[in-house]
A and B are shown apart, each in its own frame.
Chain A
Amino acid sequence: MNWLLQLYPARWRERYGEEFAAVLARQRASVGLVLDVLAGAIDAHLHPQIQNSRSKQIKGDDTMTLAMLERCAAGGPKLSPSERRIAFRLSILSALVIAALYIVLTKIYREAPAVQAVYWTSILFPNFIYQQTVYLKKRLWLTQAIVLGAGLSAMYLFMLAVCVVGRKL
């Protein structure tokens, strides 16, 4: 029955081959078993999980670089439809909130550098929110809030400095 293992992708065999063979060896041969293994092999080719695996058994010393390369590959981290919806809604909501804030501040303070900095920050902010929602999805809400707060503050302070310097020139 072990010949069935050859139907799986090489990377899959490298990762699960031995233990899969050990389980397979203890099963009674049947048509159902062959069909199950065939379906599993087709699935392993169609939906390879190994690239996305966070397995601690990745070979090589530089697992962090490998993990970063995997995340930067086309498609980025795997998102479920609900996660995509949440990230999209959050970025739209943040765009609306910052637009409303800009309108109110302009009404009160006119073209002060602090208001202009809100305008420039608003261009980057929704994308920043989306990216952070995607990449920090497994983190605690507190961690996400701290990273978002710190990122937004840094962006705003940078834009404020640019606006102040621009005004003085």
Chain B
Amino acid sequence: MIRKPKDDAELEDFGRFSEPALLILVSLAEGPRHGYSMTEDIEAIAGTRLGPGTLYGALARLEARGLIEPLKSKNNDRRNPYRLTTLGERSLRARLDSMMAVARTGQRRLAHA
């Protein structure tokens, strides 16, 4: 059985926002981004366009749990950039490791099927 890493639990109770939250963390792994830039990046990497309701539902949860943090916007820009916190980076790593372990197991089993 594949054990879930401890830090992975941070994303456990996000409900329908789990996947958008994961995509946001992946998007921010490259560096700070604001909301619209995240939707563009996520569409490019996952082929899913997050609506603003979903995007900010996930962003608010990630921020409340300390996985991301807002940065001060430049020149009174209305767009607030966000960045990953150390905790966010750890959670993302843990989730990706867990997903890779599942993928590897699936591939191995399919190879023997």
A interface residues, Cβ below 8 angstroms from B: 12, 15-16, 18-24, 26-27, 32-33, 36-41, 43-44, 49-50, 52-57, 78, 80-83, 138
Chain B residues closer than 8 Å to A43, beta-carbon distance? 53, 57
- How far, in angstroms, from A137 to B78 measured CA to CA in the complex? 34
- How far, in angstroms, from A66 to B31 measured CA to CA in the complex? 30
Given A16-B60, A50-B60, A36 and B51 touching (CB < 8 A)? Answer: yes
Chain A residues closer than 8 Å to B51, beta-carbon distance? 27, 32-33, 36-37, 40
Instruction: Report the minimum CB–CB distance from B21 to chain A (whole Å).
Output: 12
- How far, in angstroms, from A80 to B79 measured CA to CA in the complex? 31
The reply to whether A16 and B59 contact each other, CB–CB distance below 8 Å, is yes
8 nearest A-B pairs in the assembled complex, by CB-CB distance:
A40-B53, A36-B51, A49-B60, A36-B53, A49-B64, A23-B35, A52-B64, A37-B53
The reply to whether A53 and B36 contact each other, CB–CB distance below 8 Å, is no
- How far, in angstroms, from A32 to B54 measured CA to CA in the complex? 12
The reply to whether B63 and A53 contact each other, CB–CB distance below 8 Å, is yes
The reply to whether A22 and B35 contact each other, CB–CB distance below 8 Å, is yes
The reply to whether B63 and A24 contact each other, CB–CB distance below 8 Å, is no
B interface residues, Cβ below 8 angstroms from A: 9, 12-13, 34-36, 39, 51-57, 59-61, 63-66, 69-70, 78-80, 87
Cross-chain pair count, CB within 8 angstroms: 89
Instruction: Report the minimum CB–CB distance from A17 to chain B (whole Å).
Output: 9
- How far, in angstroms, from A156 to B54 measured CA to CA in the complex? 51
Q: Which residue of B lies closest to A53 (CB)?
A: B64
Chain B residues closer than 8 Å to A49, beta-carbon distance? 60-61, 63-64
- How far, in angstroms, from A93 to B28 measured CA to CA in the complex? 40
Chain A residues closer than 8 Å to B34, beta-carbon distance? 19, 22
Instruction: Report the minimum CB–CB distance from A42 to chain B (whole Å).
Output: 9
Chain B residues closer than 8 Å to A78, beta-carbon distance? 64-65
Instruction: Report the minimum CB–CB distance from B86 to chain A (whole Å).
Output: 10
- How far, in angstroms, from A56 to B80 measured CA to CA in the complex? 13
- How far, in angstroms, from A43 to B64 measured CA to CA in the complex? 15
